[in-house]
Amino acid sequence: MRNMDGHRRPLKSAIRLGAVAAFVVASSALVQAADCPRKDALGTSRIMTVDAVTYPRIGLENFKETLPLAEREVVLTFDDGPALPMDDEILAALAEQCVRATFFMVGQPATGMPEAVRKIAAAGHTVGHHTWSHKNLARISPQSAAHEIDMGIAAIEMALNGVATTVPSTPFFRYPFFDMTQATLDDLRSAALSCSAPTSWPTTGIR
């Protein structure tokens, strides 16, 4: 990332300790029976370890590459939380179907609802990063965009682990509105953060 004066941080300080994390892959064809009491559940087929260096930019909505999924496999993600009571309803539905997901969270609401962030992580879901206040990063200065990203990461880490660090536990980041700039993409790559975009939308068309 960049400092507020616009200068790129030294690479050593920018490398993220959590450079490898997991995306959970759900499938209607393959269920981990040992982990799911319901035989008719959608289930989780496998947990995919994602290296942000190998997969720096994924999701066909914005990029040319996505994760190597088998037929009928999907990676389920949710954006913009934490938000109650919606998150509790989502968690209940996921638990019923023995499915885990990735939640891209916004730092500002997470600051007021840290228990909701921890509850999602405790249920076995992956927590990713979605800026501090969900601003469109393509419409603000590079310095402000870097600040938005760093503040968001620090807020989520504070909620999860009690430490306001800009070194995230997981390397997953998603742009608000999926609007990006080359400067922030370059910074995310140098910081070993994987930029994730959707590959497909739900049939309802809701974004």
pLDDT in tens, 133-190: 999 999 999 999 999 999 999 999 999 999 999 888 888 999 999 999 999 998 888 8
- State how many domains the chain has: 1
For residue 165, tell me if it sits in a domain. yes
Nearest to 25 by CA among 101, 103, 117: 101
Q: Per the domain annotation, does 203 fall within a domain?
A: no
Q: Which of 59-73, 106-120, 142-156 has the lowest mean pLDDT?
A: 59-73
E-strand ranges in the chain read 20-27, 44-51, 57-58, 73-75, 77-81, 102-105, 126-129, 172-173, 194-196
Q: Which residues pair with 104 in a beta bridge?
A: 79, 128
Which pLDDT score, from 0 to 100, does residue 75 have?
A: 85
pLDDT band at 3 (very low <50, low <70, confident <90, very high): very low
Evaluate the CA torsion angle 162, 166, 169, 172 in order and state its sign: positive
Residue 204 within a domain: no
CATH assignment of the domain containing 126: 3.20.20.370
Q: Within a domain: residue 166?
A: yes
Q: What is the pLDDT of residue 175?
A: 94
CA–CA distance, 26 with 28 (Å, rounded to integer): 7
Q: Could you list the residue range(s) of the whole structural domain that residue 51 is in?
A: 12-196
Residue 4, domain member (yes or no): no
Helix (H, G, I), strand (E, B) or coil at 136: coil
Between helix 114-122 and helix 86-96 the angle, nearest 10°, is 10
Q: Cβ distance 159 to 118 under 8 Å?
A: yes
Q: Is the pTM of this model over 0.85?
A: no
Is residue 205 in some structural domain?
Answer: no
Instruction: Confirm whether 5 is domain-assigned.
Output: no
Pairwise CA distance, residues 59 & 67, whole Å:
8
Position 127 in a domain: yes
Q: Which residues pair with 107 in a beta bridge?
A: none
